[in-house]
Amino acid sequence: MTQRLVVIGAGMATGRVLEHLFETDPDAYDVTLFNAEPRGNYNRIMLSPVLSGEKSYEEIVTHDDAWYDDHNVTCRFGEKVERIDRDRKVVVGENGEVPYDKLILGTGSAPFIIPCPGHDLPGVVAYRDLEDTNAMMEAAGTPGARAVVIGGGLLGLEAAAGLRLRGMEVTVLHLAGHLMERQLDEAAGYLLQKDLESRGITVMTQAATKEIRGDAHVEEVVLEDGTVLPADIVVMAVGIRPQAQLAKDAGLDVNRAVTVDARMQTSDPDIYAVGECVEFDGNLFGLVAPLYDQARVLAKTLAGEDAAFQVKELSTKLKVTGCDLFSAGDFAEGEGREDIVFRDPARGIYKRLVIEENRLIGAVFYGDTADSNWFFGLIRDGEDVSEMRDTLIFGPSYQGGAAADPLSAVAALPPEAEICGCNGVCKGQITQAIEGGATDLAAVRATTKASNSCGTCTGLVEQLLSVTLGDGYSAPAAQPICGCTELTHEDVRRLIKSKELKSQAAVWQELGWTTPNGCHVCRPAVNFYLLADWPLDYQDDPQSRFVNERNHANIQKDGTYSVMPRMWGGTTDANELRAIADAADRYGATVKVTGGQRIDLLGVKKEDLPAIWEDLNDAGMVSGHAYSKGLRTVKTCVGKDWCRFGTQDSTGLGIQLEKRLWGAWTPHKVKLGVSGCPRNCAEATCKDVGIVCVDSGYQIGVGGAAGMDVKEVERLVDVTTEQEAIDHVVAFVQLYRENAKYLDRPYKWLAKVGIEWVQEQVIDPEIRAGLIERFDISQSVYQKDPWAEHVQTRRARYAPLADLTLEAAE
């Protein structure tokens, strides 16, 4: 006999139950479906694409009228259920009773509305159903309309992104310190915020809503701190609560939601529940995957089969086009938990894995979620990851099953496996190139661009050469930094970032240095890498610097020093010259004009350094860093103020650049030139960074050299304004600081990574802004005059510790 099945709620979970049920036994039940919304089942999680305009409502309908017809479902849409009478086994709807043999509750959840004053004003909506979505789309129809989204979780951000795409001015208010704090850690939340901000969305964290104001409609939102935000629509997306009132009124067991057993049965054996209104084992459910699992279980239960629902690990992805974000499992910090972190600030990539007892228990990715399914599988299956721990974060393409021969691992990769992430080159392309005659690394790079950017995959490419060519290829041994380690500079830079090594001790320990604290080769390099990557965490170590940088002067062959004050853009004045002349007299210095347009005082004794610096400081001069791997000089010509050919204020631009860049440590020295016209009197085209001014603006070239090698700059970009010129130069210098090997001048680094990659980074406005931001953070620490500082704090160190010649003179 056909049983009567009544379903309350036409949502995604109940919809899936019906599908399974009709597949197994189309005639087992006579179904009546209630839905408070005046429509049937649609794919609610696709409301965001509807809001953003990427899909229409019709495209997200799961079950249309025809489907309900075909399956003889009696639809009571737009009708609320008033109560359930369990004694008589009837459901009481607004339009009358329906008897049931079996009943499914799929009442879902309701958005949580903050009960602040004004929450009930017209124009305050949740983000739950098509009505809300339509209200938002309508509000977005007014040009210049402003939206305030309360709640920076998944839903709130999808709403914000959709509204922004529709042209609204959008502000997101979030109570916690970073966005999506339940799914993301702080670092990923920060990247997400930056991404959203770059789309024109304003994000305010730690923002508590106090009141919503307006006469007949919302007009503004007032925060606890007094900030007032004008608003034409307010979207509340602060959370959901299960709708269990109907069940509660019917006397069913309800905790936070309707409690069910593993077969999805409530405390009444004829009543079942699925979806967001359900509580199982203390868990509530809001994502679609467990809902579908529940639906499958319930359909089997109804068909009389055995099935049990299990709580599984969940993963989250944000459906905002262009924000690649993934989180799964548990990533709170805790005892016995280890983190593996990989950051690529230039590409906005952040990956974090949380490991406990050799098992991956949590993962957060931002910017690159390509391998997220593989990681999710590891979490779900609780696989032991100790064997692949060292390379785990690089994903499946680095894992070769047994920790055996790396060659067999590479050989086992499928042709579509990505080898070079920077340039998107997969194994197949590389093997083809090799078979086509590219038989060494340089040739593979030239043909495919693989390993031509960051260089991290060089090892893999070499292994591919070896696998493909067999004995025909002998890989050049990777050059370790020095005898203290087997790692290369590139390895160490990458590991300092990915393992978040923030001290020398951490580097020696974690990277297995064979010496207690490095040597004169590796220690200065490691010191630079640490301070470049972690300007706020790591402190520069003078004892890891060569003598010139430690003493802020250049040691000469006789043990005396040369002292060179800064002359901004090669300009000086009578007062400075007078002070230099006096200092030369006082300390017996030889005076030499340098090629970098400044004045060198040679032959100063070490113990006199603090005194001469103090004198020069008093005249307003600071260290010229003529001794540092950092910004040296900015050579300029006189420019259009004086020169009849000058097209721009080259001197002024040079001064601005020098004032912005001085004090920054770089992998090797950096010299700039700014010429006011293509006659190029400042010789800008053989500098590390050279700008040639033209009528239409500024030609920025990089990677010139005029030392052991002579090389003309490569054109980075042409820009029209001075500000753009400065921005691009700062971004280039930061990119160099973050990526180059210690003691590689820019031209050597460029030869490795290629001008195209550098252009991609520096010209992309988002990446450029990030580079500039990180440069400025570093400058907040390092742009200070070391001379003044040493005069203040280290003066005594410049004198001998003791002078026994005086005592022994008796």
Partner 1 sequence: MTWIDIGRIDDIPVRGARLVKTHLGCIGLFRTADDEVFAAADTCPHKGGPLSEGIVHGQRVTCPLHNAVFDLNTGQGTDGYQIDTYPVRVENGRVLLDADALGKRSAA
Is residue 515 a contact point for partner 1 (CB under 8 A)? yes
Gap between the Cα atoms of 565 and 401, Å rounded: 59
Lay out the sheet containing 697-702: strands in order across: 631-636, 670-675, 689-694, 697-702, 714-719
475: tokens are: 């890989």
Positions of E strands within 577-694: 590-593, 599-604, 631-636, 670-675, 689-694
CB of 627 to partner 1, least distance (A): 12
Stretch that binds partner 1, among 511-519, 683-691, 698-706, 728-736 (CB under 8 A): 511-519
Instruction: Establish whether 693 is an annotated binding residue.
Output: no
Please select the residue that binds partner 1; options are 217, 248, 586, 797, rule is CB under 8 A.
797
Q: Is the dihedral of CA 331, 332, 335, 339 positive or negative?
A: positive
Q: Within a 10 A sphere around the Cβ of 428, how many other Cβ atoms?
A: 14
Smaller CB separation from partner 1, 120 or 807: 807
Structure tokens belonging to residue 512: 């297995």
Question: Of 215, 471, 803, 810, which lies in the binding site for partner 1, with binding defined by CB under 8 A?
Answer: 803
Q: What's the min distance (Å) between Cβ of 524 and partner 1?
A: 7
With vertex at residue 451, the alpha carbon angle to CA 447 and CA 455, rounded to the nearest 5 degrees, is 155
Distance between CA atoms of residues 532 and 526, nearest Å: 10
- Find out whether 422 is annotated in a ligand binding site: no
Tokens at 778, concatenated:
């570093």
- Write down the least CB distance from residue 507 to partner 1, Å: 14
State the minimum distance, in angstroms, from the CB of residue 538 to partner 1.
16
| Closer by beta carbon to partner 1, 307 or else 521 | 521
Residues 205-244 that bind partner 1 (CB under 8 A): none
Question: By C-beta, is 446 or 799 nearer to partner 1?
Answer: 799
Q: From residue 503, how far is each of 22, 352, 539, 541 by CA, in Å?
A: 63, 20, 8, 10
Draw the binding track, 524-563, toward partner 1 (x: CB under 8 A; -: no contact): x-----------------xxxxxx--xx---x-x-x----
To partner 1, the closest distance from the beta carbon of 548 in angstroms equals 8
Of the pair 189, 524, the CB lying nearest partner 1 is at: 524
Structure tokens at 27: 């005639």
CB of 743 to partner 1, least distance (A): 13
Q: Does 516 bind partner 1 (CB under 8 A)?
A: yes
Task: Check the CA dihedral 449-451-452-453 and report its sign.
Answer: positive
From the list 27, 269, 335, 520, which residue makes contact with partner 1 (rule: CB under 8 A)? 520
- 667 vs 432: CA distance, rounded Å: 36
Q: Is 768 left (phi over 0), alpha (psi -120 to 50) or beta?
A: alpha
Q: Rounded to whole angstroms, how far apart are CA atoms 14 and 509?
A: 55
Report the half-sphere exposure of 82 (CA within 13 A, side-chain side): 8
Q: In the numeric block, which tokens belong to residue 208?
A: 């508590």
Least separation in angstroms between CB 547 and partner 1: 4
- Binding partner 1 (rule: CB under 8 A), the pick from 164, 523, 660, 668 is 523
Binds partner 1 by CB under 8 A, chosen from 391, 517, 572, 783: 517
Instruction: Tell whether residue 681 is among the known ligand binding residues.
Output: yes
66, 477, 708, 802: residue in contact with partner 1 (rule CB under 8 A): 802
> By C-beta, is 695 or 803 nearer to partner 1?
803
| Nearest to partner 1 of 27, 807 (CB atom) | 807
| Residue span binding partner 1 (CB under 8 A) among the ranges 214-222, 390-398, 517-525, 718-726 | 517-525
Question: Within a 13 Å sphere around the CA of 466, how many CA atoms are in the beta-carbon half?
Answer: 17
Query: Residue 187 phi/psi, 5° resolution?
Result: -65, -45
Q: What are phi and psi of 615, to 5 degrees?
A: -60, -45
Q: Give the x-and-dash track for 556-595 against partner 1 (CB under 8 A).
A: -x-x------------------------------------
- Nearer of residues 520 and 644 to partner 1, judged by Cβ: 520
Residues near partner 1 (CB under 8 A) are 515-520, 523-524, 542-547, 550-551, 555, 557, 559, 796-797, 800-805, 808
